[in-house]
């Protein structure tokens, strides 16, 4: 840990100690009636008090979302231990992780390590839950595998969103308006309608958010990137024909259309830092004919870039679901949840990340999903059992294209200058032979498009059961099992089109070989000089250079190489479950020990990968062990929840961004271990203090064929220490930390209510600490990101006679400069790194009227 990290942790600990110590005397002198909120959760598929559930979990209520001025899931992550959410490349690409285990969403072949559910309906795409959090009842974050009740894609845990349902009070309504810096305008509202007394109610909610960006582009203007433009509506009905039956139907639609996300230069490659006289592509691109506007790493926090086209992100998310609950007897509840969902996304990226027109990518995806869950809950005096069936069917259709720009031919010619003598010789030979030997064709014609269409269909069927048995007054044992059967098919078609190109040849004889060509060229030249008949069998070595597009073979990436089409099938069966022992010595204490398993589905890589590599990867399997305590001290208004955990992951699905695609593979084995702590305390009736702390240690136990470092070796001349030999294309990552995740994270919150002129005023502040981390799994020293801390605050004035609240809020009040967890090596520009900055200071005023 760095000295700066240690200092911040010391500072955080000092504040925490001082805060708690200062309140202790007050608590002893004036104990107040309990203020601890009872939070109802559905972590075990039935309503229970959070303190009675033997699962390490956090619950963010709708009230807390409003109080903290949080707009989306990225805002609330700071209040939850060992949970992170971030975006990269585009708003379409979002990632969630719990206890250091997460998955990129940029490859549609990958599924999430964190199960995502909204009102009981599984959301398979991580980017389907990033919209504004409006009219939310609770967001539950369940840490650790949830393979029994939630099933597939929960080796890290689950995030469960519950929206507010209709009621029969003809109201429970609100309207909220927010204005802030960067021209932020946000409107939201909801209301319930009593259609038929105690029989039929409806609720409608909606939101619209507009905001300028906070990253500038020299060509497109200020505040042009990282803007916000999204809206949505949710329509619900609740029908209760009797006291025993309820039917809830939800229809929702949301859309997003933004210029996101802005990557900035973290490390330039104008000249290597440790190798004298070594210059990179930045030096080339600064000169004619490119005249690119480039930045050094020292200019990262200017929040300015220069692109040939702005990043585009568009999404449409829509769905319809129905949940039926039938209490057939006091002991038996039957539940059915049926849902259809559609999710369409489009993103366009300037993939060279400069204003030289070199490379761009487009990604157009469509998803259709149907799910059905049937379950029965039987509750006896000492035994509760949940059993059910779950079916999920999904179609994914992806159109992806990489396009070379008009400047790419000149860029390749300058980058591959060592080939110039060879190509000049072939052209001279063509003239000498009157065209018998063809002239060299364009190496990398501009406007060449590398297309692929991937269509994936999957069906999942699961049967599950979980039982809680209170075998003694203070002890309960929980046992659950789930079997999941999954079938997947993938059809992928690849094509290359451009000036003079109608598909690139794939045979080995068509791949340019400069050495063989040079030998053949010399032989031909000697034959012509001596008048001897040339050896025409050597002509084959020159022919690949006479086919348009031959230069793409030298770029070192399979993303622009021809390959055969794919027709793949995959079948998996997984058994997962849990076993827990709970001890409740009193109504305010829960101690538990548990072991649980979970898995993430195997699948197929939807990117264009090298011919001969298998597109399939196996399921990722997790086994976790946990010791936890949930303890309340009502007389002191104090709640302490904590857990120790250890998780072993086998066949971890690793994904490393290569700029034009992703390297997907089963990494082998890894582990994550650590502890979490959550404290809520009301030292006096009008003051609330909160503390969260997570220590998460991760490491690859077995990862022999990982991705190699690029920037560090290029700049220093020192090879990746994990490379077995100089000519090996892979490197061992065994013993390395997992990327993107800090070892330590913490938050401290303080809220106080006072009366000012007869009006309640709430003052609140929080301090959020994120430890150092690596920006990907290579552990490249150039991709190390330092720890940082953010300070947020808000002041809220309530006007009871108007049912109105006015809140002045600010996030990142110290305008801290930091990296938002993600960085990458820039395509075809070795030694250059880009990263995504965190949002600087933002502030606003929110007015809420309830009625």
pLDDT at 608: 87
If you average pLDDT over residues 453-466, what whole number do you get?
Answer: 96
Q: What pLDDT, in 10s, does the model give residues 539-549? A: 888 888 999 99
- Cα 675 to Cα 99, 340, 484, 603: the distances in Å are 9, 38, 30, 32
SS3 10: helix
Q: Tell me which DSSP letter residue 653 carries.
A: E
Q: What is the DSSP string of 710-725?
A: -HHHHHHSPPPTT-SS
Q: How far apart are CA 261 and CA 349, in angstroms?
A: 9
Q: What pLDDT, in 10s, does the model give residues 683-712? A: 988 999 999 999 999 999 999 988 899 999
Residue 201 in this model has a pLDDT that exceeds 60: yes
State the CB neighbour count (10 A cutoff) for residue 757.
6
Strands (E), 103-244: 114-118, 121-122, 136-143, 157-163, 174-180, 184-196, 200-211, 215-217, 221-225, 228-242
Residue 33 in this model has a pLDDT that exceeds 70: no
If you average pLDDT over residues 616-638, what whole number do you get?
Answer: 94
State the CB neighbour count (10 A cutoff) for residue 754.
11
Q: Which of 199, 160, 135 has its CA nearest to residue 48?
A: 160
The sign of the CA dihedral 653, 657, 658, 661 is positive
- Cα 216 to Cα 32, 34, 103, 305, 312: the distances in Å are 52, 50, 29, 6, 15
The domain spans of the chain are 3-306+319-358+369-396+457-489+577-850, 408-442+496-560
Q: Tabulate helix, strand, coil % of the chain (nearest 5).
A: 15, 50, 35
Residue 18 in this model has a pLDDT that exceeds 60: no
How far is residue 635 CA from its own chain's centroid?
Answer: 41
Residue 679 in this model has a pLDDT that exceeds 90: yes
If you average pLDDT over residues 412-426, what whole number do you get?
Answer: 91
If you average pLDDT over residues 641-650, what whole number do you get?
Answer: 97
pLDDT at 23: 42
**What mean pLDDT value characterizes the chain?**
91
pLDDT at 11: 45
Q: Tell me which DSSP letter residue 304 carries.
A: E
Burial of residue 159 (number of CB atoms within 10 Å: 0-12, 13-18, 19+): buried
Fold of 3-306+319-358+369-396+457-489+577-850: Maltoporin; Chain A (2.40.170)
Q: Can you read off the two tokens belonging to residue 348?
A: 């366009």
pLDDT at 653: 86
SS3 153: coil
How many residues are present in the chain?
851
Q: What pTM did the predictor assign?
A: 0.90
If you average pLDDT over residues 573-577, what whole number do you get?
Answer: 95
Q: What pLDDT, in 10s, does the model give residues 717-771? A: 999 999 999 888 889 999 999 999 999 999 999 999 999 988 999 999 999 999 9
Instruction: Provide the b/e sequence for 314-338 (b: ≥16 CB within 10 Å).
Output: bbebebbbebbbeeeeeeebebebb
Q: Can you read off the two tokens belonging to residue 310?
A: 């702005």
Confidence of residue 659 (pLDDT cuts 50, 70, 90): low
Confidence of residue 3 (pLDDT cuts 50, 70, 90): very low
Higher pLDDT, 557 or 205: 205
The sign of the CA dihedral 217, 219, 223, 229 is negative
If you average pLDDT over residues 679-685, what whole number do you get?
Answer: 93
């Amino acid at each position: 840990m760095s000295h700066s990290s240690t200092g911040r942790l010391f500072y955080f600990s000092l504040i925490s100690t001082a805060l708690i110590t200062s309140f202790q005397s007050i608590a002893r002198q004036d104990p107040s009636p309990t203020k601890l909120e009872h939070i109802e959760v559905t972590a075990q598929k039935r309503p229970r008090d959070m303190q009675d559930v033997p699962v390490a979990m956090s619950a963010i209520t709708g009230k807390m979302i409003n109080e903290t001025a949080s707009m989306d899931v990225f805002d609330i992550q700071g209040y939850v231990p060992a949970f992170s959410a971030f975006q990269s490349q585009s708003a379409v690409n979002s990632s969630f992780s719990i206890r250091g285990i997460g998955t990129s969403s940029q490859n549609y072949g990958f599924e999430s390590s964190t199960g995502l559910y909204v009102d009981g309906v599984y959301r398979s795409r991580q980017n389907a839950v990033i919209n504004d959090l409006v009219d939310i009842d609770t967001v539950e974050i369940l840490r650790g595998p949830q393979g029994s009740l939630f099933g597939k894609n929960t080796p890290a845990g689950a995030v469960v969103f519950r929206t507010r349902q209709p009621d029969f009070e003809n109201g429970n309504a609100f309207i909220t308006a927010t204005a802030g810096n960067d021209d932020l305008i946000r409107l939201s509202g909801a209301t319930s309608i009593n259609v038929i007394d105690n029989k039929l109610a409806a609720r409608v909610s909606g939101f619209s958010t507009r905001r300028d960006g906070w990253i500038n582009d020299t060509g497109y203007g200020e505040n042009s990137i990282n803007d916000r433009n999204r809206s949505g509506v949710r329509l619900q009905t609740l029908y209760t024909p009797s006291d025993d039956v309820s039917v809830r139907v939800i229809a929702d639609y949301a859309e997003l259309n933004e210029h996101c996300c802005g990557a900035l230069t973290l490390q330039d490659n104008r000249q290597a830092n440790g190798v004298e006289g070594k210059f990179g592509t930045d030096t080339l691109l600064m000169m004619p004919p490119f005249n690119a506007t480039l930045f050094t790493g020292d200019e990262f926090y200017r929040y300015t870039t220069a692109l040939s086209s702005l990043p585009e992100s568009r999404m449409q998310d829509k769905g319809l679901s129905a949940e039926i609950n039938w209490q057939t007897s006091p002991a038996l509840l039957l539940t059915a949840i049926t849902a259809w969902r559609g999710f369409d996304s489009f993103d366009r990226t300037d993939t060279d990340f400069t204003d030289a027109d070199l490379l761009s990518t487009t990604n157009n995806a469509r998803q259709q999903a149907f799910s059905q869950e049937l379950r029965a809950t039987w509750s006896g005096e000492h035994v509760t059992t949940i059993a059910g069936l779950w079916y999920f069917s999904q179609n994914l259709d992806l159109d992806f294209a990489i396009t070379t720009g008009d400047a790419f031919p000149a860029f390749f010619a300058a980058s591959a200058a060592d080939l110039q003598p060879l190509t000049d010789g072939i052209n001279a030979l063509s003239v000498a032979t009157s065209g018998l030997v063809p002239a060299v064709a364009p190496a990398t014609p501009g406007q060449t498009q590398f297309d692929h269409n991937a269509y994936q269909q999957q069906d999942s069927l699961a049967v599950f059961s979980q039982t809680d048995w209170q075998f003694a007054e203070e002890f309960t044992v929980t046992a659950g099992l789930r079997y999941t059967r999954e079938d997947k098919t993938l059809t992928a078609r690849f094509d290359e089109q451009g000036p003079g190109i109608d598909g690139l040849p794939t045979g080995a004889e068509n791949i340019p070989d400069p050495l063989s060509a040079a030998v053949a060229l010399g032989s031909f030249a000697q034959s012509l000089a001596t008048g001897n008949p040339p050896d025409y069998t050597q002509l084959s070595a020159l022919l690949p250079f006479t086919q348009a597009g031959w230069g793409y073979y030298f770029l070192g990436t399979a993303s622009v190489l021809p390959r055969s089409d794919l027709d793949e099938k995959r079948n998996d069966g997984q058994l997962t479950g849990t076993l827990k022992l709970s001890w409740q010595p009193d109504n305010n204490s829960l101690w538990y020990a548990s072991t649980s398993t979970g898995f993430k589905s195997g699948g197929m890589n939807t990117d264009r990968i090298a011919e001969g590599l298998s597109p399939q990867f196996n399921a990722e399997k997790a086994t976790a062990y946990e010791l936890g305590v949930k303890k309340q001290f009502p007389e002191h208004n104090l709640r302490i929840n904590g857990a120790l955990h250890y998780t072993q992951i086998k066949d971890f699905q690793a994904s490393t961004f290569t700029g034009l695609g992703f390297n997907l593979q089963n990494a082998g084995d890894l582990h994550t271990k650590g502890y979490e702590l959550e404290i809520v305390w009301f030292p006096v009736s009008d003051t609330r203090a909160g503390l969260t702390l997570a220590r998460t240690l991760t490491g690859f136990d077995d990862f022999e064929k990982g991705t190699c470092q690029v920037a560090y070796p290029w700049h220093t001349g020192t090879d990746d220490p994990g490379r077995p030999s100089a000519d090996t294309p892979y490197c061992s990552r065994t013993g390395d930390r997992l990327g993107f995740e800090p070892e330590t994270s913490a938050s401290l919150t303080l809220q106080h209510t006072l009366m000012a002129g007869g009006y309640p005023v709430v003052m609140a502040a929080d301090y959020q600490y994120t430890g150092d981390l690596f920006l990907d799994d290579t552990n490249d020293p150039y991709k190390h990101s330092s720890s940082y801390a953010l300070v947020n605050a808000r002041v809220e004035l309530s006007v009871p006679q108007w049912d109105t609240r006015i809140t002045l809020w600010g996030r990142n009040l110290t305008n801290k400069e930091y990296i938002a967890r993600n960085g990458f090596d820039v395509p075809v520009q070795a030694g250059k790194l880009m990263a995504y900055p965190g949002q600087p200071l933002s502030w606003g005023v929110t007015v809420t009227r309830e009625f």
